[in-house]
Amino acid sequence: MHKMAKSHIVANVPSIVSKLLLFGILMATITTTGAQIGVCYGTVADNLPHPREVISMYNQQNIKRMRLYGPNRDALEALRGSKIELIIGVENERLQDIASNQASADDWVQRNVVTYGNVNFKYIAVGNEIESGPIAQYVGPAMEKIQNAISKAGFGDRIKVSTAVHPVILQESYPPSKGSFKQDYRAFLDPIIGFLVRHNSPLLLNVYPYFTYIQNRQSVNLQYALFQYPSVLVPDGQYSYQNLFDAELDAHYAALEKAGGGSVRIVVSETGWPSAGNDGSVTNKDNARIYNQNVIKHVKGGTPRRPGGPIETYLFAMFNENLKNGDPTEKNFGLFYPDKSAVYPINFN
């Protein structure tokens, strides 16, 4: 954060110069604040530092935003009085109960939000990466019930309710203007989109150019995925794309526009690149550092389709998580090791 110039320093400077100087500092401050990035605090591990130490790390690194995947009592206690903006998740396994019972939603909000009134809640993510299936029908109704609960509790103006999705919901994504949602997902998605429009809430989107590249090596350029392609690679009518991150976001914006959600803003609730696991030529510390550092730089501006910017973005994740299931890369998305040392150098400013 830039400090304002002390008045005695500029007292003898002509007034117009003073005003221009102060205006420039103010704009720099606004730009810096607007572009601040968040980091997801995943806890699927048995060797992580105590949450009080983690909150201290966020402050030391100047990380101003955090995503928690569920109500973590120790983390919420440690966040009391902090200025860190928080996304807190409603657990997938609670969705059916909350969707069918306002009292359950009220209780969840009372226990996990109202109890921590001096925590800087920004969003409640009702479910994470729910796909079309038995649980999907409960997401929209659960969002409505959580919205009712935070409104009753007096937080309706301060906290936005959403859900976190991932690109499996898209039918088409290339070129980005062709973006559209899968037809069989529309019954699940349309109520969510309607809710977001009515409440002026953003859609939370987990975006991973890494996985897009790994699954489509024959057709996707690695430099394009790492923000390193030197020129436009994908022309798309009036828009043109030099990186995969923007292309994936804009495919979702195009899909939202076609589904009546043209006013909805996207928040990137996860993105990242693993530093180890599988093919070392792609999955390594150098590429992870390049990707994440470029994300931090890039999201100060918007996308070709939505050039306003900045793009609120959360890197995944704070730590390597040794109990994650699945592919070995899943354990290696962390920016830090559990002993708090950096996996690779990165600058959050």
How far is CA 121 from its chain centroid?
14
Nearest Cα to 293, choosing from 332, 233, 344, 220? Answer: 344
Q: 């070709």: which residue's tokens? A: 304
Average pLDDT over residues 210-228: 96
The answer on pLDDT for 7 being more than 70 is no
pLDDT (average), residues 30-56: 84
The pLDDT value given to residue 246: 98
Stated pTM of the model? 0.90
Structure token pair of residue 221: 């350029």
d(CA 189, CA 176): 19
Q: What is the DSSP letter of 175?
A: S
| pLDDT tens track for 294-329 | 999 999 999 999 998 899 999 999 999 999 999 999
Quick one: pLDDT at residue 58? Answer: 97
Q: Is the pLDDT of residue 28 over 80?
A: no
Contacts of 312 (CB under 8 A, 6+ apart): 38, 65, 202, 267, 268, 299
Residues assigned a catalytic role = 129, 270
Pairing of strands 160-165, 203-206: parallel
Mean pLDDT of 41-68: 97
Question: For 336, which DSSP code?
Answer: B
What percentage of residues in the chain have a pLDDT greater than 70? 90
Per-residue pLDDT, 133? 83
Cα 266 to Cα 177, 246, 299, distances in angstroms: 16, 12, 12
SS3 20: helix
pLDDT, tens digit, 9 for 90 and up, residues 104-132: 999 999 999 999 999 999 999 999 999 87
pLDDT at 31: 35
What would the mean pLDDT of 44-56 be, rounded to a whole number? 98
DSSP letter, residue 280: T
Distance between CA atoms of residues 172 and 62, nearest Å:
38
Token look-up 């996860």 returns 270
- Across the range 164-170, mean pLDDT stands at 95
pLDDT over 50 (residue 272): yes
Correct CATH for 38-332 of 3.40.50.300, 1.10.760.10, 3.60.15.10, 3.20.20.80: 3.20.20.80
Give Cα 327 distance to the centre of its chain: 22
**DSSP-assigned letters across all residues of 215-256:** HTTTTS-HHHHTT--SS--EEETTEEESSHHHHHHHHHHHHH
List the domain boundaries for the chain.
38-332
157 pLDDT more than 90: yes
Rounded (10°) CA dihedral 118, 120, 123, 125: -70
Contacts of 60 (CB under 8 A, 6+ apart): none
Q: Is the peptide bond before 310 cis (omega within 30 degrees of 0)?
A: yes
Tell whether the model's pLDDT for residue 23 goes beyond 60: no
What residues are paired with 239 via a beta bridge? 236
Question: Does residue 47 surpass a pLDDT of 60?
Answer: yes
Q: What is the pLDDT of residue 9?
A: 23
- Do 12 and 270 meet the contact criterion of CB atoms below 8 Å apart? no
CA–CA dist 5, 97 (Å, integer): 54
